[in-house]
Structure 1
Amino acid sequence: MSDTPQEEEDLAAAWGAALDAEGTPEDEAPVGPDAARVLNQAEIDSLLGFSAGPAESGEKTGIERIVSAGLVSYERLPMLEIVFDRLVRIMSTSLRNFTSDNVEVSIDSIVSLRFGDYLNSVPLPAMLAVFKVDEWDNYGLLVVDSALIYSVVDVLLGGRRGTAAMRIEGRPYTTIERTLVERLITVVLQDLSDAFSPLSPASFRFERLEVNPRFAAISRLSNACILSRLRVDMEDRGGKIELLLPYATLEPVRELLLQQFMGEKFGRDSIWETHLAEELRHTELAMDVVLDEQTMPLAAIMSLKPGDRIALNAVPGAPVMLRCGDIPLFEAELGRRESRLAVKIGRELRRRQEA
């Protein structure tokens, strides 16, 4: 049985009036084919994992957990920034001698990121140089972008000054270009070794040159790294050099890189240490010569009276022990010098026990 259009309109009007009278619950969606579901602020905060009330201790939900999964807290290495500043000064001089041109080197940024994120962001074409630090027994990455590659090749092959380096995109690098860039990388790695030398001896040795980031995987994709972007300007030409050092590579010198200034002792004062050592050497100590040791019952000791004698088992010429408190130091021979008893030290006991 079908209702007439008039009856349908009457039913809809009655239903709307009933809803207005009772009120629509906040947690129910509006009824109707064209009604859109509108979220209030509380529902949006709940979906994103944020809450307007006091922060919960250590609990993250929703998109906040997803976003925070890509963020990693890295410790700051103050001394590494000083090393990079020193590298910039050394490179400015060495690259001027290398190119016979006016070269200016500056630091664009020093950031911490994951190794996999950096490999995915390397602008191609580029050359990726893998180098090894012999003293630290680990690897690092040096990336030269295409702009600097063409600029260096143009300068070393006698290109005219005042003209931008010509680029030919879409072709592999030639043997001449790779050879010239390897020479540039060798100069930069030598400067990097010189920059680290005041802090710790480190030899940065060139291993291989890659043009595909997948073949330059020197660390796990999730490992943390330090990335330093260096800007090289040669008048109207230039480009960028990116130096990537995994935290695992820097681990052998981590304590040195945590210093605020060169020679810091992390709260230790070398002047005070020297003064304390000198004073300790002049400290007076009481030494006891132990002739004999016996075990006696407590009743025998309590029965001792003035005038009683305790016979020692030490025989003439037998070795005696010299102690400082409870610590045995020397074994000696008892004797007499003029009117006093004396001991002649035979051997040291402390070092023998430690050995």
Structure 2
Amino acid sequence: MSPSPQEEEDLAAAWGEALEQEEAAPAPAAPAPEATRVLNQAEIDSLLGFGGDSAKQEDQTGIQRIVSAGLVSYERLPMLEIVFDRLVRILSTSLRNFTSDNVEVSIDSIVSLRFGDYLNSVPLPAMLAVFKVEEWDNYGLLVVDSALIYSVVDVLLGGRRGTAAMRIEGRPYTTIERTLVERLITVVLQDLSDAFSPLSPATFRFERLEVNPRFVAISRLSNACILARLRVDMEDRGGKVELLLPYATLEPVRELLLQQFMGEKFGRDSIWETHLAEELRHTELSLNVVLDEQAMPLASVMSLQRGDCITLNVAPGAPVTLRCGEVPLFEAELGRRENRLAVRISRELRRQAED
């Protein structure tokens, strides 16, 4: 049964009102896209498990801590600590001249560890410089972290003061950055040579620059090394320099490094030497003129009486010896001056014996 004309008109009117209400209603808001954020290196290291040594140590038992503490205990090198202190003072001045900025260098820590453990803990990205000590015929490692790399590049290329260096993650270092860091490494190695020079001559020569720890195999993974961490601050920016020296590299100067350091200078004390020399010049000594020496039996010596004569086997005018205690000093001629016996020194015996 088909609808009547009146019903068709009512349906059409109802349909039109529904369409008008739907068009007047506000459209539902579209879901906002999620904001994407790039993780920095510190967050990546945290996700991968780096830098969480303290939390891991809290979960370890006492035996596990002993096993993973370094495995062996190495001897302290007192003089090496003084060398690093001298390096800090020299490096502060050199980096101020290098960057034309206010630079402060300090020592964070000096620790002993195994070479393989250190390679596994190197924070990447970083630049690893391999250097050779010419006199000791062995190698060492100098590591510059990314924060100091970007800070040095920013300062040397005219970056504004008061702004932190921009750190770009996930890209290799450019040729300009590598060249500028090589200049920085050359300055550090030259200062390291100067720091060792009062103790022993040492020339630290730059070999190569690497960005992957696998390519810096300068020692066996189980060998012992000493690590010095230096902090470089340039106002509101800076970073760390890590100096790694295997114990095999330090073996030629090990005896010197074991010395107990006293005072503020290496080796000789010029002030004490000058004072001692001045006092020795005013010391009074007694010189003995030896005319002759002869061996006599003890019985003959005990039988000597007043008035006895001892014959000297020396011809008149023969040279005599001047001694200080048991040390012969000069050879002289015996004579007389104003009713007194006198000797004229002809030659020095001690210097001739040394020659």
User: Does 2:71 align with 1:72?
Assistant: no
Partner amino acid for 1:110? S
Deviation at 1:332, TM superposition (A): 1.6
Counterparts in 2 of 1:318-333, with a 5 A limit? Answer: 318-333=318-333
| Structure 1, 158-167 or 175-184: larger mean CA deviation | 158-167
Deviation at 1:259, TM superposition (A): 3.9
Distance (Å, rounded) in 2 between the aligned partners of 1:137 and 1:207:
13
Distance (Å, rounded) in 2 between the aligned partners of 1:336 and 1:163:
89
What's the CA shift string for 1:321-346, capped at 9, x where partnerless? 22233322222222233423322222
Distance (Å, rounded) in 2 between the aligned partners of 1:285 and 1:163:
71
Partner amino acid for 1:74? R
Q: Which residue of the partner structure matches residue 178 of structure 1? A: 178
CA 1:343/1:211 → structure 2, altered by over 3 Å: closer, same or farther? same
CA 1:309/1:140 → structure 2, altered by over 3 Å: closer, same or farther? same
Distance (Å, rounded) in 2 between the aligned partners of 1:104 and 1:307:
88
What's the CA shift string for 1:296-347, capped at 9, x where partnerless? 3344334433333222221122222222333222222222334233222222
**Structure possessing the higher radius of gyration over alpha carbons:** 2
CA 1:291/1:211 → structure 2, altered by over 3 Å: closer, same or farther? same
Secondary structure of 2:166 counterpart: coil
Deviation at 1:353, TM superposition (A): 2.8
Q: Which runs of 5+ in 1 are unaligned?
A: 1-46, 50-61
Q: Which residue of the partner structure matches residue 166 of structure 2? A: 164
Distance (Å, rounded) in 2 between the aligned partners of 1:124 and 1:285:
70
CA 1:337/1:297 → structure 2, altered by over 3 Å: closer, same or farther? same
Q: Which residue of the partner structure matches residue 113 of structure 1? A: 112
Secondary structure of 1:333 counterpart: strand
Distance (Å, rounded) in 1 between the aligned partners of 2:302 and 2:194:
76
Contact 2:77 2:257 in 1 (8 A): no
Contact 1:108 1:231 in 2 (8 A): no
Contact 2:99 2:156 in 1 (8 A): no
Partner amino acid for 1:263? K
Contact 1:143 1:241 in 2 (8 A): yes
Distance (Å, rounded) in 2 between the aligned partners of 1:263 and 1:108:
20
Deviation at 1:348, TM superposition (A): 1.7
What's the CA shift string for 1:180-203, capped at 9, x where partnerless? 332332344455567778988865
CA 1:95/1:255 → structure 2, altered by over 3 Å: closer, same or farther? same
Partner amino acid for 2:320? V
Counterparts in 2 of 1:1-355, with a 5 A limit? Answer: 69-76=71-78, 78-80=81-83, 82-86=85-89, 89-90=92-93, 93-94=96-97, 96-97=99-100, 107=106, 109-116=108-115, 117-133=117-133, 139-149=139-149, 164-169=166-171, 173-190=173-190, 192=192, 204-219=204-219, 221-231=222-232, 239-246=239-246, 248-249=249-250, 251=253, 259=261, 262-263=264-265, 270-271=271-272, 274-355=274-355
Secondary structure of 2:280 counterpart: helix
Distance (Å, rounded) in 1 between the aligned partners of 2:159 and 2:283:
75
| Structure 1, 153-162 or 290-299: larger mean CA deviation | 153-162
What's the CA shift string for 1:4-35, capped at 9, x where partnerless? xxxxxxxxxxxxxxxxxxxxxxxxxxxxxxxx
Distance (Å, rounded) in 2 between the aligned partners of 1:96 and 1:187:
11
Secondary structure of 1:123 counterpart: coil
Secondary structure of 2:109 counterpart: strand
Q: Which residue of the partner structure matches residue 13 of structure 1? A: none
Contact 2:198 2:267 in 1 (8 A): no
Contact 1:136 1:252 in 2 (8 A): no
Distance (Å, rounded) in 2 between the aligned partners of 1:312 and 1:139:
70
Distance (Å, rounded) in 2 between the aligned partners of 1:126 and 1:336:
85
CA 1:165/1:83 → structure 2, altered by over 3 Å: closer, same or farther? same
Q: Which residue of the partner structure matches residue 9 of structure 1? A: none
Secondary structure of 2:231 counterpart: strand
Deviation at 1:128, TM superposition (A): 0.9
CA 1:74/1:341 → structure 2, altered by over 3 Å: closer, same or farther? closer
Q: Which residue of the partner structure matches residue 36 of structure 1? A: none
What's the CA shift string for 1:86-111, capped at 9, x where partnerless? 256336524533xxxx7765547222
Distance (Å, rounded) in 2 between the aligned partners of 1:168 and 1:65:
36
**Superposition TM-score, scaled by structure 2 size:** 0.61
Partner amino acid for 1:228? R
Deviation at 1:129, TM superposition (A): 0.9
**Superposition TM-score, scaled by structure 1 size:** 0.61
